[in-house]
A and B are shown apart, each in its own frame.
Chain A
């Protein structure tokens, strides 16, 4: 019987020997560790794990923190994090958001039209929208888990915030019809992100930028270079000037942007499952860590634990020797209702196949 069939069928999964924090710290310095790091990418969609609604999650720093504690304690995920969510900053800038129990929140009413960009608002991170709740959650997670696991917070990529401030379709049309107004809006968003970044770096947490709207499924490379990259760069530069570290995640296709990303100074790139890890290792691996990319829906939510193991093994086979390190995770946020056995299987895949010294024969089919 092959090793995957033996999983949940008598196979002994090697135990972790380091705490998550020890592991990621040593691994980050290129030193020896017990296994490849593995993160469960969750956030609001994981609220069901502790019986809370997604809508409750957004408004309670306690629930947010409890979800992270649950995920860390139950599965041993190598990262704990609080997400500003794709709409958090836009909401602070005045967009109306619709919250429901079983779904991720949605944009209900944009804060402004591009023609009203003079009114784009500079935020007070201690007052506006849910930012205070989010900051409180980061503080709690850092307090309760900070000695065991590395803690991070997400700051949404500037272009994705713009989409939630004026509406995605309006933003995309604006790139063609009202480019000056789009640039003006991006300036305000960069400043707002920097305000949040400053506080987060002071709290000692890492920063992840999710930026789905920058995907080449939506915009061209030229549009990325004009409307997204320069502003993203300014946020990254600011993080670094404060001594912090950050990574980027783009959902969907992004391959054509990678050459540009090499020069941004980000510490890690997390790729969607539509892109290839081997290719990411080749193009980006020399400059940054790479993370990915088990399919979140088809495998994590709809697959069996054995499917998860197979998919994760392939990721490890492609990614393990990436020069600046590899972290096993899903290609995007896991959806609500992802079975806990599958999350366990993803972590166990790192323990079985990512165990050091690596047994390369285990990685082959």
Chain B
């Protein structure tokens, strides 16, 4: 089977919520020697995008979306151990989480996985994270980057609050703040004074390395 066809099948089976088939197909991608990161970006994520569309069109409801998320995660579990481990990013420390009020964590988990594969040390705070926690954990561990994720317009404001808290405590310049997620844009990042915005997990990792002058 050729790669494009395989990716298409993976995407379709995420949409059809067939976790077992997704699992098999992801194993197959490994056998075929395809870079797991490519399979995530070319198969799993486009599948989830389609799920998002069906949800918006009122054809899918949360049970379908959740079950599709579960299928996607099954695929990621298969691919994750095979993502090329780099160690050039070894000195980079990152705290990451989904801001308070939001429980969408698939995208955040991808950034985390890609970061870890890039050799970062990642402190994952999970989802629906109280805003102060980002600041506390960043200080405690003296991290380089604070990564904030959210998929909802209603919780975007929390990102600004985190930056404001850093300013109030006079430690804004100790950390770089990177933001991402569906409704986030470069414009929003500029508005709230974040250091960077990225659209996907791989670019996020590349950007952080570039900002630290590694890789």
Contact = CB atoms under 8 A, between A and B. Distances in A.
Interface stretch (B64-72, B87-95, B198-206): B64-72
Interface in A276-314: none
Interface in B134-164: none
A176 B70 CA distance: 12
Contacts of B62: 172, 217-219
A223 B61 contact: yes
Chain B contact residues: helix, strand, loop or mixed: helix
Nearest to A213: B62
A103 interface: no
A169 B61 contact: no
Nearest to B61: A220
B33 interface: no
A218 B62 CA distance: 5
A67 to B, nearest CB: 28
A216 B61 CA distance: 8
Q: Which bucket holds chain A's interface residue count?
A: 10 to 19
A305 B61 CA distance: 38
Given A172-B62, A223-B61, 18 more contacts: A169-B66, A172-B66, A172-B67, A173-B63, A173-B67, A173-B70, A175-B63, A176-B17, A176-B63, A176-B64, A177-B67, A216-B61, A218-B61, A218-B63, A219-B62, A219-B63, A220-B61, A223-B63
Contacts of B66: 169, 172-173
Interface centre among A173, A216, A220 (most CB of B within 10 A): A173
Interface string A176-204: 11000000000000000000000000000
Contacts of A218: 61-63
Interface in B64-107: 64, 66-67, 70
Interface of B: 17, 61-64, 66-67, 70
Contacts of A223: 61, 63
A43 to B, nearest CB: 23
B68 to A, nearest CB: 9
Contacts of B63: 172-173, 175-176, 218-220, 223
12 contacts: A169-B66, A172-B67, A173-B63, A173-B66, A173-B70, A175-B63, A177-B17, A216-B61, A218-B62, A219-B62, A220-B63, A223-B63
B112 to A, nearest CB: 19
Q: What are the nearest 10 A-B pairs in CB distance? A: A172-B63, A220-B61, A175-B63, A176-B67, A218-B62, A173-B67, A172-B66, A173-B66, A219-B61, A176-B63
A218 B64 CA distance: 10
A182 to B, nearest CB: 10
A172 B66 CA distance: 7
B134 to A, nearest CB: 20
A169 B68 CA distance: 12
Contacts of A216: 61
Contacts of B17: 176-177
Interface centre among B17, B62, B64, B67 (most CB of A within 10 A): B62
Nearest to B103: A169
A322 B41 CA distance: 54
Interface string A38-54: 00000000000000000
B41 to A, nearest CB: 25
A347 B84 CA distance: 65
A114 to B, nearest CB: 13
Nearest to A177: B67
A363 B9 CA distance: 59
Interface in A160-174: 169, 172-173
Interface string A212-237: 00001111100100000000000000
Interface in A215-264: 216-220, 223
Nearest to A175: B63
A223 B67 CA distance: 14
Contacts of A176: 17, 63-64, 67
A177 B18 CA distance: 10
Contacts of B64: 176
Nearest to A174: B63
